[in-house]
Amino acid sequence: MAKGEEKSSVLMVSMAFQGHMNPMLRLAKILNSKGVRVTLATTEAVRHRMLKYNSNSTINNINSDNNPNQIELAFFSDGLSPDFDRVTYAEEFFLSLEAQGPTNLSSLIGNLSRNDFSCMIINPFMPWAIDVAHKLGIPCAILWIQASAVYSIYYRYYKSINRFPNLEDPNGIVQLPGIPSLEVRELPSFMLPSSPPFIRTMLENIFESIDKVRWVFATSFDDFEEEIVKSMDSLIPIRSIGPLVSPFMLGQKETNDLSVDMWGVDESCMGWLDEKPNSSVIYVSFGSIIVLTQNQMDNIAMALKNSNKAFLWVIQESNPSGGSLSREFLEETKGRGMVVNWCPQEKVLMHPSIGCFVTHCGWNSMIEAVVAGLPMVAYPKWSDQAINTKLCISVFENGVRVNCGEDGVARAEEVERCIREVMEGPKGVEMKKKAMKMKEDARKAIEEGGSSNRNINMFISELINNVGN
């Protein structure tokens, strides 16, 4: 450990969602391994779900004797009860967090036993936390948990750096540095007129406060979005420090991996996968937030049945507004298919029996698929998923897109076509080669001397120098 490095102490602040918490925890572990003390602050809702599903894992790992006084979890109230549905009632959640968060986070920081923080690393969708850091005189960083391309698009739009077409016209063309030509319909849905006003206001607030931020970090790696990262150098640069995935995905020895399970993992699928031939299984998952309609679910089910291939399908059963599978489908595909409520996705993606990933193209899922060397069938729904799909198809060339009708629903024949193209066709072979190349690039980025490793070391060096000033 370098002289003075033990003085560096970082406070991370995260939203109460699994896909937001896990990148923060992985970064916390990396910083901790390099001598930085880390406190991760999030809302009480996370503690509630962790105790429900994960009480003997993450909390105990962080507070174990093997990790004394290096990483700790701290919690503050978002003003809502632990059982409040923060996904279904997102607007109420965000407004309550915005109203209660600044006071409650400030109080938490004041009450922490160690609060001499060298930096606050903040989830971007909590712009009010930037102001908390600024008022307390703590240098601020953002961990951008979406693609660097999304950061570039938002920054250029909200800072009026580039000219955009009328966002009311879905066919309008967007030309931006480092990014393939886009149609307005491919932009992140949060910035479009159809997005709820509270989300668009939140984005405006983020980029009004961005000038108070000293560092912006990306969860990907330089080779993944090289031209996009370079295009931001003259504005507010974004430094790639990923991929922020479990160490075993990168061939590292896993010791007390830090991750949050807020849904209850079903491990039974791993033994089922062990019985399947290599590259033979279709893995289908749309994450923890997307809810498929009955029509969407019926068409995917028909495509899987007609493909005659084995499949593992994650379907969240907790949301009553979603579709359900027919008993007939489950009987017809018995033994060939397995349906679970939730699964250890990283382990599944790394399993040799998996041949392709049918995904909504959420950023965490895309990164994990890249690290696993898997080609994708992209079926985007909202938020950043359309631009992620564009990157997958036009830049990385490691997947195929499902074409939907105007109602946002893909026909069964279209889903089946995409599955066969990835699993059987010559294009699928090329996709697999490109996917394996990116897998190797990801591994190199986090090794000693790799681009992400250098960026993290540079950040720690800047923290040390700042502490000494």
* CATH code, 433: 3.40.50.2000
The pLDDT, as a whole number, for residue 334 is 93
Q: Are residues 323 and 420 in the same domain?
A: yes
Residue type, 260: V
Q: Are residues 338 and 463 in the same domain?
A: no
| Alpha-carbon span 463 to 311, nearest angstrom | 47
Residue type, 333: T
Q: Are residues 161 and 310 in the same domain?
A: no
Q: Are residues 49 and 172 in the same domain?
A: yes
Q: Are residues 135 and 193 in the same domain?
A: yes
The pLDDT, as a whole number, for residue 261 is 55
Q: Are residues 221 and 283 in the same domain?
A: no
Q: Are residues 291 and 201 in the same domain?
A: no
Q: Are residues 226 and 272 in the same domain?
A: no
Which residues are CB-contacts of 433 (< 8 A; sequence separation ≥ 6)? Answer: none
| Alpha-carbon span 418 to 404, nearest angstrom | 12
Q: Are residues 301 and 240 in the same domain?
A: no
Residue type, 380: P
The pLDDT, as a whole number, for residue 23 is 92
Angle between helices 426-446 and 451-468 (to 10 degrees): 30
Q: Are residues 459 and 438 in the same domain?
A: no
Q: Are residues 272 and 340 in the same domain?
A: yes
Reference 367, options 17, 22, 1; nearest CA is 22
| Alpha-carbon span 76 to 15, nearest angstrom | 11
The pLDDT, as a whole number, for residue 310 is 98
Query: What is the total count of domains within the chain?
Result: 2
> Which residue range forms the structural domain that includes residue 328?
268-442
Outline where 210-275 has alpha helix (H).
Answer: 226-231, 268-274
pLDDT along the chain (469 residues), means of 10: 59 89 92 93 85 55 52 93 87 95 96 88 95 95 96 97 96 95 95 95 95 95 91 92 93 64 74 96 90 92 97 80 87 94 94 97 94 96 93 93 89 96 91 93 94 96 74
pTM, two decimal places: 0.91
Q: Are residues 122 and 209 in the same domain?
A: yes
The pLDDT, as a whole number, for residue 4 is 40
What the block records as the tokens of 366 is 């895309």
